[in-house]
Structure 1
Amino acid sequence: MATALAPRIVAADGGAQHCLDMGHAPERVIGDMDSLPVSLRAQLTPDQLCPVAEQETTDFDKVLRYVQAPLVLGVGFSGGRLDHELACFSTLLRHPGQRVILIGAEDIVCLAPPRLQLDLTKGTRVSLFPMVPVVGQSSGLQWPIDDIAFAPDGMIGTSNAALGPVTLRFEAPGMLLILPRAWLAALVRQLLETPEGWPAL
């Protein structure tokens, strides 16, 4: 599904092995190379390797720093180690100027842009989780979010539901949007059509 929407493949470090196991050869492998098997590294050309010799940031963060694309789909970053998944959510916030969707087995996650409209069907689960204090407005949600002061240690917006088409607006970056995976293609389309994005930090 992901390669149908984003056919160019970049692997994060040892993720190259997973790509090859699924029959996909990555164009680039980016990371500190601490989890890339030596035997696999020997099979890759220098042009395929993009080593980043620091361990203060995650390999996912390194990928986003080096990849310039209208949209990035992240596969394999959720559903495994919880600490890795939380680090990926933090990375989304560190790169607000990039459109990124993380794809899990059941859900997809992105950093909500300033404004987003989705033609969801009634009853679709719409979860919002604030990474920092943030305020927004909505239309089409069962429980509107207008002017609620969201915060990770206060009010959160998980397990909301669509009444139909939904519009979301936020005053600053910081809100994670979580949808069922079935809405991936629709979210990709809308993010690509949304002209404004958050400025890079």
Structure 2
Amino acid sequence: MKEPVEFLSYLKTSTLIIAADGGVHNCKTLGLQPQVIIGDLDSMSSTEVTDYQQAGVKVIQYPTHKDETDLELALRYVMEQEFSDVIIIGGLGARWDMTIDNILLIAHPMFSGLKIHMLDGTQELLMFRAAERSPINGRPGDTISLIPLTGDVSGITTEGLEYPLKDETLYFGTSRGVSNVLLQEQAQVFFRQGLLLCIINRDVV
């Protein structure tokens, strides 16, 4: 697993690092020590669990037969601790079912109070909600895609993108919002109705 240096620097100074079960292996790869491990722990050996507990890590174990994924449990825990900014690493994996569910999970209304960044290599996923002025931060030349998630998204106005929208609609299931280009370090998106998935593909030099 490889993440951009600027995000790793931020993560290493984060207030709280939570490993959702097998996320402990991602933490180890990235040189991060979690403060909390949560999930059914089916991706960890009993020895690993004991080692983390002895190191002072809080381990919250759930039954294997449960209704929530480990990521959902982690996000619920974040809300209980009253955090608002969240970075998710490893949420886009080899399994399509888990990947799609993780993306839809951050769109759920129960997590609307969280500012979530989902990172995978040079890609960043953000969830934009209606009636909010949403910033897109990056470098000029980064590829930006705006994808409607819950039906048509209307009243969209953008600033700082090569192909601007002015009080327009992106229709669900169409590709008009894919592969726009960032013209400056920060763009802005505003819309009146719907839910937009923003995907930033960073132009890493």
Normalising by structure 2, we get a TM-score of 0.76
Unaligned regions of 5+ residues in structure 2, if any? none
Is 1:48 the counterpart of 2:45? The answer is no
Q: Look up the match of 1:33.
A: 41
Rounded to whole Å, the distance in 1 between the matches of 2:36 and 2:128 is 27
Is 1:59 the counterpart of 2:70? The answer is yes
Partners of 1:122 and 1:162 within 8 A in 2? yes
Instruction: Report the AA paired with residue 26 of structure 2.
Output: H
Q: Deviations over 1:98-125 (max 9, x none)?
A: 0110111121111125212346554331
C-alpha RMSD of matched pairs (Å): 2.6
Aligned to 2:146, which of 120, 123, 128? 128
List, as ranges, runs of 4+ consecutive aligned residues in structure 1 with deviation greater than 6 Å: none
Rounded to whole Å, the distance in 2 between the matches of 1:92 and 1:172 is 18
Q: Deviations over 1:77-102 (max 9, x none)?
A: 12432322211110110122101101
Rounded to whole Å, the distance in 2 between the matches of 1:58 and 1:156 is 32
Is 1:145 the counterpart of 2:165? The answer is yes
Is 1:163 the counterpart of 2:177? The answer is no
Partners of 1:13 and 1:33 within 8 A in 2? yes
Q: Look up the match of 2:85.
A: 71
Aligned to 1:106, which of 101, 118, 122? 122
Quote how far apart the aligned CAs of 1:71 are: 1.1
Secondary structure of the residue aligned to 2:98 is helix
Instruction: Report the AA paired with residue 51 of structure 1.
Output: Q
Instruction: Report the AA paired with residue 60 of structure 2.
Output: C
Structure 1 vs Structure 2: percent identity of aligned residues? 24
Secondary structure of the residue aligned to 2:48 is helix
Secondary structure of the residue aligned to 1:163 is coil
Quote how far apart the aligned CAs of 1:65 are: 0.7
Unaligned regions of 5+ residues in structure 1, if any? 184-201
User: What are the residue-to-residue correspondences of 1:153-192 with 2, within 5 Å?
Assistant: 153-154=173-174, 156-164=176-184, 165-172=186-193, 174-181=195-202
Q: Deviations over 1:126-185 (max 9, x none)?
A: 1111111222221232222333333432455110113335221133462111113469xx
Partners of 2:143 and 2:203 within 8 A in 1? no
Q: Look up the match of 2:100.
A: 86
Normalising by structure 1, we get a TM-score of 0.77
Instruction: Report the AA paired with residue 170 of structure 1.
Output: F
